[in-house]
Structure 1
Amino acid sequence: MLDAFLAGAHQVFAFDTLIYMLIGSVAGIVAAAIPGFTVTMAIILTLPLTFAMDPLQGVSVMLSVYVGGYTGGLISAALLGIPGTPSSVATTFDAYPMARGGEPGRALSLGVWSSFFGTIISTIILIVAAPPLALIAVKLGPWEYFSLIVFALTIVASLVGNSLMRGLIAGVIGLGLATVGPDPMMGRPRLTFDSDILMPGLPFLIVLIGIFAISQLMGEVEDDGKSETKGALIPDVIEFKTWAVMREVLMHPVNLIRSSLIGVFIGALPGAGGSIANLLAYDQAKRSSKTPEEFGKGTPDGVIASEAGNSATAGGGLIPMIALGIPGSAVDAILMAALMVHGISVGPRLIMDNADLAYGMFIAMIVASLMMLVVCVLSMRLFLRVTDIPKQFIVPTVMICCVIGAFALNNRVTDLYLLGAIGLVGYGLKSLDYPLAPLVLGVILGPIAETNLRRALMSEGDWTVFFTRPISAVLLAAALLSVIFSIRSVLKMRKKNRAVTDEQDGD
């Protein structure tokens, strides 16, 4: 074991490997900061470049892009209010209000340090507990997956803002949008109204960019027209110290560790991914907080939870891949393909037959997280220069990036029509004070829930199996308790606000 560890370390710490990993880290951060350009896209573009490398060197470079990409989505989420990747949706809830409040440096630093610690925690768990966690994940059937998604959908209740009804309506709209296009099981078109534009369905990234980016930019233009001064998106930047922010993150150990563990668990479930971990970690942080009313207004706990949760899925996704040969996400599938190109079989015998490669991947994860941290800290001032750019320049530039990202997804002009239409819908809902997060959550989780429900019913027609299988029953019970707790919290907050209003009227 020690010999394999040292052999893996020797390959990872080779000078040329470190240089390639540094380039990969920068590429992942920059790519993920562009709305619509996902981590998966960056990894796919990196794959052909690694064919001429040694197996461990190639995988190390891809892991550096992977880790950097999970953090890069934070940049546009915090500074523009537009999630760079689907796994940064919840980051916008508190990072952007914090940045708009004059603390963009603090918002970025909180996210970067949380991502770093989340990756480190997930890597430690990956090294120590890969086999048992992978065995648990592989035993889950469609019943457990559906129950898990139902539990995840209860997050809607904690993201509804001031109105529970409006939040639920937004969530239902998201679920409805997810049903447009081909049937996920049979491939038959539905709700397309014989329209060529709707026939391929509504790609999730198009919905994400339209709902968050286009509506956000339209709102910025509207605000700019009402204001007398045409300044930058984020005014009055307050100075910050990165190391002080690191201590601030460590002052929330329970939130940091809990969010990282959620990320590891979700990452170990094939097909779940960082977008679910991001929202679920944020939800649990809000539920556990003594001041849940501060969430959505720029609280550090919200940024820490969302970024630690999504970054921890990187290590969690490698657990089933390394131990069982089952990819936890699309990115892990690409990593598997890279190893197979070099003639290495991925599965239970990976650690036995190629121990130096397995331990080298563990080391590469830690090195990649350190590189991500160094790159982000040294480039922080450069990122913050975005806050000095006037709206009349940054809005059209970001709009062009969004359009390019939307078109590059499938190379379809019709996607641009969808982007504009969905952007108008998002702007309208935002103007009417409807929360956008439940809508996006419905679009993310709707297809996964439907696919697993139908698989479960096709395997076993008896619906009571959902309640007789222990893990599924526990998840459904947790979902019920989650809904009850959320409704209770909303009613309690309303009562508190009403009491404050009555007290002010009395004065």
Structure 2
Amino acid sequence: MDFFTNAVLAVMTAGPLAAMLGSTLLGVLIGALPGLNPVMAIALLLPLTYSMDPLVALAMVAGIYNGSMYGGAIPAILLRIPGTPASIATTFDGFPMADRGEASKALKIACWSSAIGGIASALALMTIGPVLARVTLFFGPAEYFWIAMFGMASVGVMVGSDPVKGVMAAALGLLIGTMGIDPLSGQARFTFGQTWLLGGLDLIVVLVGLYALPPVLQLAEKCDLKGLSASELKLSGVPFAPGEIRRLVPTWLRSSLIGIAVGILPGAGGNIAAFLSYNAAKNASDDPGSFGKGNPQGVAAAECGNNADNAASMIPALTLGIPGNVVAALVLSALMIHGLQPGPQLFHQSPVLVGGFMIEMLLTSVLIFLVGGAAATRVFAQIQRLPGVLLVPAILVLMCVGVYVINGRPVDLWVMLAAGTAGYFLEKLNVPLAPIILGMILGPMAEQSVRRALLLSRGDPLDLLTRPISATLAIATLGMILWPLVKAFRRRRRG
């Protein structure tokens, strides 16, 4: 526990505290704007963190992540437009509550539920993460290889509606990750005679292009020239009935556990946690027919579930180097920016930094209680009155400036444009983008680990399967790849 004590002392300084407060407010604002999302915001933020202290940079990531997940509930409740994908389930009962004049109550429940889910998730990260990190001390090159393969397979299969497209996206990311100088042999690969490709494609440049540009193009397509009027926000206050908050406690407990479990699974995501929590609350209710008609428990379940996924998704990311979702992949990118290698050794190389990030995830969830109350919610709800067309040029300028300052190369702007254009059309084809980034992150790790393992075994490939942990991971990887085939076969037999 010494590293937690040192981490608390490091976090409780002016820089991280100010970053947490400001980024949480910014995150709520981003979530409240339909068309913007935490992934795009963090992708835009990462290039600006090069000169920052790592704890300050991670504090901003934590604040934007937790804040935006709650902020997505604001348009979901007021407009029936989910601010983030994880807020889709919030619209089921949030908008009917607002429609009957209970918008203020629904927003308060969403705020409290988001904070409770985030706090439970952060506590799970602080307890499960160090234990799992100690287990990884027994890992060697073969285990690292299978961890990387399992990560790519699981995200490729579980993210998106088509496992084949997900695996293809992971393979594309793996191919992109091999560009540049081979770290073991020193040979140039896939550089096409271009000297600027010798170092490979910059991960942050590709990230900004893939995740920031497609939402901007989609926002431009809508061509929203006017916002809402003040009367359309429906923010009149309605008091809580006696015992109404107490009846939400079982829903909060159940949804927190579901969100944490979903977060630990690579590739699942907050939207799955929200739907599972919502269905569990509906099945446990004495009046399931009221769900979808303005039941406060539906709002509480959805918001608590999707926020309980937040920090829990960092457990496999920080301990194994396998991102639980796209934001976790961005956190790994932020660590790599500051010279840290995500994976099992991270807890031993930088314990204060890892512990500080865990505490920041906890504190930013607590801040939602403080800054996401009625006053702040009313302020951020006014953002719905801003025309969408004003956001497009502002975000494009931020993207270009952020990408250019990374390396000071104009060619990075063209890489960002190419990645963004590709991401835009890939989303039109329902190809998930997360496996591409995961392939870029885990691909080099898998390649170097398997080559080291083969060098140690003098070229014997069976050595990759002889140790119990590596054999277990190999079976899990094979099972993850075959699972969609098994499901398709079972559906055909039932048909």
Q: Identify whether the pair has TM-score above 0.5, normalized to the shorter chain.
A: yes
Residue 206 (structure 1) shift: 2.1
Residue 417 (structure 1) shift: 0.5
Deviations 1:192-242 (A, max 9, x none): 211245333222222222222212222332343xxxx64559xx8787999
Residue 419 (structure 1) shift: 0.8
Matched, 1:375 2:371: yes
The CA distance in 1 between the partners of 2:278 and 2:481, in whole Å, is 18
| Conserved 8 A contact 1:282-1:302 | no
The CA distance in 1 between the partners of 2:195 and 2:71, in whole Å, is 32
Partner residue, 1:94: 86
The CA distance in 2 between the partners of 1:408 and 1:10, in whole Å, is 32
CA 1:304/1:40 → structure 2, altered by over 3 Å: closer, same or farther?
farther
Residue 310 (structure 1) shift: 4.5
Q: Where do 5+ consecutive residues of structure 1 fail to align?
A: 48-58, 81-90, 264-276, 293-297, 321-327, 338-345, 352-356, 500-507
What letter matches 1:481 in structure 2?
G
What letter matches 1:438 in structure 2?
P
1:71 is matched with which residue: 60, 66, 71? 66
Residue 365 (structure 1) shift: 7.2
Structure 1 stretch displaced more, 64-73 or 164-173 = 64-73
Deviations 1:32-76 (A, max 9, x none): 7734345696495146xxxxxxxxxxx7x7875564354356489
Q: TM-score, normalised by structure 2?
A: 0.64
The CA distance in 2 between the partners of 1:333 and 1:170, in whole Å, is 22
Residue 410 (structure 1) shift: 2.6
Deviations 1:73-101 (A, max 9, x none): 64898899xxxxxxxxxx95434796799
CA 1:191/1:435 → structure 2, altered by over 3 Å: closer, same or farther?
same
Matched, 1:116 2:112: no
| Conserved 8 A contact 1:210-1:426 | yes
Partner residue, 2:284: none
1:425 is matched with which residue: 416, 422, 425? 422
Partner residue, 1:36: 43
Partner residue, 2:461: 463
Deviations 1:148-175 (A, max 9, x none): 22222232122232x4443333333232
Mapping of residues 494-505 of structure 1, within 5 Å: none
Mapping of residues 280-319 of structure 1, within 5 Å: 307-312=307-312
Residue 466 (structure 1) shift: 2.1
The CA distance in 2 between the partners of 1:246 and 1:44, in whole Å, is 44
| Conserved 8 A contact 1:118-1:312 | yes
The CA distance in 1 between the partners of 2:435 and 2:301, in whole Å, is 20
Partner residue, 1:23: 18
Partner residue, 2:98: none
| Conserved 8 A contact 2:47-2:406 | no
| Conserved 8 A contact 1:24-1:64 | yes
| Conserved 8 A contact 1:281-1:305 | no
Residue 414 (structure 1) shift: 1.1
What letter matches 2:206 in structure 1?
V
Partner residue, 2:400: 403
Report SS of the residue matched to 2:207.
helix
What letter matches 1:168 in structure 2?
V
Deviations 1:242-267 (A, max 9, x none): 9979855533243233246x38xxxx
Partner residue, 2:438: 441
1:483 is matched with which residue: 481, 484, 487? 481
Q: Where do 5+ consecutive residues of structure 2 fail to align?
A: 28-37, 76-82, 96-102, 281-297, 321-330, 341-346
Q: TM-score, normalised by structure 1?
A: 0.63
The CA distance in 2 between the partners of 1:135 and 1:11, in whole Å, is 23
What letter matches 2:211 in structure 1?
F
Residue 395 (structure 1) shift: 1.6
The CA distance in 1 between the partners of 2:194 and 2:453, in whole Å, is 31
| Conserved 8 A contact 2:255-2:305 | no
| Conserved 8 A contact 1:181-1:199 | yes
| Conserved 8 A contact 2:273-2:305 | yes
Structure 1 stretch displaced more, 247-256 or 403-412 = 247-256
CA 1:422/1:19 → structure 2, altered by over 3 Å: closer, same or farther?
closer
| Conserved 8 A contact 2:43-2:212 | no
Q: How many equivalent residue pairs?
A: 419
Matched, 1:179 2:171: no
The CA distance in 2 between the partners of 1:395 and 1:102, in whole Å, is 28
Mapping of residues 131-280 of structure 1, within 5 Å: 133-152=132-151, 153-161=153-161, 163-224=162-223, 230-231=225-226, 249-259=252-262, 262=264, 279=267
CA 1:210/1:42 → structure 2, altered by over 3 Å: closer, same or farther?
closer
The CA distance in 2 between the partners of 1:180 and 1:388, in whole Å, is 45
Report SS of the residue matched to 1:370.
helix
